[in-house]
Structure 1
Amino acid sequence: MNYNQIKGTYDVIFSLGANCLPADQLSRHMLRKIGGVLDWVESPALSGVSHLLRNRFLNYMELPNLAITGINDKAGCYIVRDAAYYIFSHHDFPLNQNTPVQLVSYPELREKVSRRVPRFLDTLKNANRILFIRTEGTIHETAELLDVLQQLVPGEFNLLVINHAPVDYMVETPWPFQNVCALQIPKVPDEFHDNDELWKNILDGFSVR
């Protein structure tokens, strides 16, 4: 599927990571109709996302699986890893509310997850046309993700995979999947801002009902 084929109107567009970038760009362009479960977390391994979806978020962000791995200075939060799925929270545990040995604000995260997961799964089940956007993924990881999504989504869905690479502009990658468009965009020092104009051009081709 090429870029012109994947463009169009969708019931909902969801980010599948690998970090906050897709959700942030969707929000800026008024395309984030519903908050997704993976909008504001880091999921560096697409295989972990596929595992999470296959398990329908079973034990996701459960307290026994969490460990502090660092500090996000910009967010003013502890970085907390979910060992079960290799997913990292960067925005849920403010430094002024938690300690290096106690995640005091965990109940707030638990409430958010408990609200968003059923809504996300219900939307996958009932929407007629869904677009998923993922940054950073190999062709083999994408094949695994497609297999999982086909089990979760009875309606039509497409997947836009955007990889940062040593290119000077947007380049389409010919992947052999009927409902996947793969793009490469420049690898830049600040991916949250340096490619803003390019993201604008990419997302201009999409709308939500």
Structure 2
Amino acid sequence: MATLHEGDFSLEIRHREFEHGWVYYDIWPRWRGEPILNDAILKRHNTHWAKRGVGAINACEYRECEVLPLLRRVLEANQPDYWTATDPDITLALYPDRGFPFLPPKSRVVYEAPHIIAEREARDRKRLETGPLPDDLIEMILFVDVYNFSGAGAYYGSGTCFRFTPLREELQKFYDDLRAEYVLFRETWNVQALNEEEYGEPLEEPWF
């Protein structure tokens, strides 16, 4: 399964199944390979919720995966963007060249060694010449509405967030891995044919 690693902290996304025109996801924030969310308080009261993996965030999207187009847009355009699942309410937002809390820093540089200044200026020149660099940081925030939790009968607009700060090259690898898995998923679940059957006409292959 496609996994974005930051040391012992990781994010794993799996396309679980395609049913009645919906792509279902299991999403795991993990620490040392273990789910961070307590499975005992996640919603499992019916078949829809019970299918989720242990400690997984449950989400679904109509017809096709929308996480991949999001990642591709951000990697290609180097601009902030986000995806909110059709159901339930989770949001994955990415911010190239920006850092949480998205405000000017309150600290100031008292001293910067000459060699550090030289390295920073050289890096700035290289970015101007070539564009985004492989080791650029990209801010990524995953928001999970409490509707994913047992006893929540409606969307709250509140919930828990997980913050990741991958390098561009790490996000690219995550995208490549997830894309390869989704191509296989579409073949296994016959997604293209079922979508065409539903629409009653041939469809272009999705952009992802």
When normalised by structure 1's length, the TM-score is 0.27
Q: Larger Cα Rg: Structure 1 or Structure 2?
A: 2
Q: Which has the higher contact order (CA 8 A, sep 6+)?
A: 1
When normalised by structure 2's length, the TM-score is 0.28
